[in-house]
């Protein structure tokens, strides 16, 4: 399988991408202290507001830069492709968004991110900037429910970031922002399927291998092993299998928000076919769909596949999900 990319120097793709995004959305974004891996809101810092800093490896766009803006994240620290940002841009972004009420770090549960963000938090604490951390752990496939704290963060990042960003936007203190973000994380569940791999810009080699008529259920956004491989099935069968796993853990739910997420090269046609089945399954289970998001929200370069995420809503989370946000790649 041959991979082709529209790039210049494969070792400069991230820097060129980030610069392009800031140039394209200069009304929303700026660099923090000229650090090309630390991007913050144009109007940062916001006085007396908890800062929300998200981040992780590149290649998942619109995560993470696309969610920096009013009502969502105040900044993002960006790493190389599928690699954690180093502590330096995390510290620079933290300083740039600190409005005096502390900063919350939010990112997927991956060892490299934990190490570097924790290191940055210690450096910021030494400068009297209080930092708290929320890890996103929505990927059902990555660990059993009794070990949920070990699960990876995948497309559920979007919902957890959105809830935390809204809470901070409403002026809540850092403890309340963290409580609501944790609640959103506990109520967010994702399952995905991959049909074909992506490739890193500097290798152009497949990130994993599947046979021509094979799919993998539960494969991670960096190519981590899923729960099973098998022949490609019809869209309704795939969707039903993913939803069965999600509903087993969802518990008593009367209302949800639905995210059908493309992993990079899956056409909207196929995502909406999946959504149609999700809608049918939820109606059968007498679960109301409050809102729906269909498209690319957390990708994996050009990976062919999709994921389904449900956020269980209540009287606290629903208004936060509805709170207006305006970012370079997402507005509501």
Q: Which residues are catalytic?
A: 60, 222
Residue 92: its H or E element: helix 87-97
Tokens of 239: 């969707």
Residues 47, 287 contacting (CB under 8 angstroms): no
d(CA 132, CA 37): 21
d(CA 228, CA 244): 15
Residue 99 C-alpha from the chain's centroid: 24
Q: 103-108 and 51-58 as β-strands: parallel, antiparallel, unpaired?
A: parallel
Q: Please report which residue ranges of 32-81 form alpha helices under DSSP H.
A: none
Tokens of 297: 């929200």
Number of alpha carbons in the 13 Å side-chain half-sphere of residue 70 = 10
d(CA 39, CA 93): 7
């Amino acid at each position: 399988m041959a991979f082709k990319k529209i790039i210049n120097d494969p070792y400069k793709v991230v820097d060129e991408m980030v610069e392009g995004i800031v140039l394209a959305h200069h009304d929303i974004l700026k660099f923090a202290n000229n650090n090309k891996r630390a991007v913050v809101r144009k109007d940062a810092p916001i006085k007396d507001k908890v800062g929300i800093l998200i981040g992780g490896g590149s290649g998942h766009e619109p995560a993470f830069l696309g969610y920096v803006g009013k009502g969502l994240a105040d900044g993002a620290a960006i790493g190389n492709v599928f690699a954690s940002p180093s502590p330096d841009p995390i510290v620079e972004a933290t300083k740039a968004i600190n409005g005096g009420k502390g900063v919350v770090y939010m990112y997927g549960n991956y060892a490299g991110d934990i190490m570097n963000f924790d290191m940055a938090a210690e450096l910021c604490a030494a400068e009297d900037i209080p930092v708290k951390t929320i890890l996103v752990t929505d990927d059902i496939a990555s660990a059993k429910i009794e070990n949920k704290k070990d699960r990876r963060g995948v497309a559920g990042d979007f919902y957890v970031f959105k809830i935390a960003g809204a809470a901070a936007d409403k002026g809540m203190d850092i403890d309340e922002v963290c409580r609501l973000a944790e609640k959103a994380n506990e109520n967010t569940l994702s399952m995905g399927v991959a049909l074909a791999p992506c490739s890193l810009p500097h290798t152009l080699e497949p990130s994993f291998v599947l046979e021509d008529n094979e799919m993998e259920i539960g494969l991670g956004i960096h190519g981590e092993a899923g729960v099973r491989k098998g022949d490609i099935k019809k869209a309704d069968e795939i969707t039903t299998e993913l939803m069965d796993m999600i509903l087993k853990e969802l518990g008593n739910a009367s209302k949800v928000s639905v995210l059908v997420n493309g992993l990079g090269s899956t056409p909207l046609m196929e995502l909406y076919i999946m959504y149609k089945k999700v809608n049918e399954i939820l109606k059968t289970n007498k679960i109301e769909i409050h809102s729906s998001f269909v498209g690319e929200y957390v990708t994996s370069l050009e990976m062919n596949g999709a994921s389904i995420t449900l956020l269980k809503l209540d009287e606290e989370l629903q208004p936060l999900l509805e709170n207006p946000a305006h970012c370079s790649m997402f507005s509501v």
